[in-house]
Homo-oligomer: A and B are copies of this chain.
């Protein structure tokens, strides 16, 4: 796929979140959704990836941008351990495998797990999302 096409996809994706397509954001969006497949990134991993492509984006901007994308609803933040935040381009409710030994995060095939019999949320509140993390250890 041509880089210009990936760029167009990225720009369209930003538009879905009502986010202004600056040079840096488009560069990041291209890496996140340019090939049409979902991925999990951390600020650090995305920063490395964008630099590897030769694009100049500061780490602070990567952090701010990931936060902005999450708030706009085009990314979903996933908290698996206190020390690092992951971001998922798949914003639908779905379960994750998290390997405590390697720090790797991966999707569980949707349809495999189901959370049933969801409780009533306490009054005055509503359910924002449901996170299911299956923690793995080497056996």
- Residues of chain A having any CB pair with chain B under 8 Å: 79-85, 95, 97, 99-100, 106, 108-109, 112-119, 121-122, 124-139
Instruction: Count copies of this chain in the complex.
Output: 2
B126→A130 contact, CB < 8 A? no
CB distance from A15 to the nearest CB of B (A): 25
A119 to chain B, nearest CB (A): 4
Do B130 and A132 have beta carbons less than 8 Å apart? yes
Find out whether the CB atom of B97 lies under 8 angstroms from the CB atom of A122: yes
Least CB distance, A45 to chain B, in whole angstroms: 15
Query: Known contacts A125-B139, A126-B137, A127-B134; can you find 18 more A-B pairs with CB under 8 A?
Result: A79-B79, A82-B82, A82-B84, A95-B119, A99-B125, A100-B128, A113-B117, A114-B116, A114-B117, A121-B134, A121-B136, A124-B139, A125-B138, A126-B136, A126-B139, A127-B136, A131-B132, A132-B132
Contacts of A139 in B (CB 8 A): 124-126
In the assembled complex, the Cα of A114 lies from the Cα of B97 at a distance in Å of: 17
